[in-house]
Amino acid sequence: MSLECKHRGSLSSDPRVRRAPGIDRVTLTYDKDTMMCWFYLKKDAVLEMHSHGESQNGIVISGRINFLKGDGEVLELKAGDAYYFASNDPHGSKVLEDTELLECFSPAREDYKD
């Protein structure tokens, strides 16, 4: 597989990578401009406030999660809710129940190519 482009992904066979305690990622597809990842999050997992150069948008597939934005706003999200973080927009999360997310990044995150 080239690290420049991944045309096909599978939740059943692609590796689950630990992002943080209770947070696993599967990188599904990407090219230099965009990337799609699936996240499995366990209840009570916390992702500390962080930012990155890539813009990020996603949708909650199942479960409930709170995203905390750098300005203090809390996005209380449940299955079917979508969200967006601009490039370098600080954000973190607190998982309220087991949750699955589908997220896209633009451009692709080099650190998520596996």
Q: Where are the chain's structural domains?
A: 17-112
Class for domain 17-112, per CATH? mainly beta
Backbone angles phi, psi at 110, to 5 degrees: -60, -35
* Residue 2 binned pLDDT confidence (cut-offs 50, 70, 90): low
The structure tokens 């709170």 sit at: 66
Residue 18 tokens, joined: 């630990």
The per-residue pLDDT of the chain, averaged, comes to 96
Give the mean model confidence (pLDDT) for residues 18-40.
97
The structure tokens 């930012």 sit at: 51
What pTM, to 2 d.p., does this model score? 0.93
**pLDDT, tens digit (0-9, with 9 covering 90-100), for 36-74:** 999 999 999 999 999 999 999 999 999 999 999 999 999
* Residue 84 binned pLDDT confidence (cut-offs 50, 70, 90): very high
Give the mean model confidence (pLDDT) for residues 80-107.
98
Q: The dihedral of CA 37, 42, 43, 48: what is its sign?
A: negative
Three-state SS across the chain?
A: CCCCCECCCCCCCCCCEEEECCEEEEEEEECCCCEEEEEEECCCCEEEEECCCCEEEEEEEEEEEEEEECCCCEEEEECCCEEEECCCCCEEEEEEEEEEEEEEEECCCHHHCC
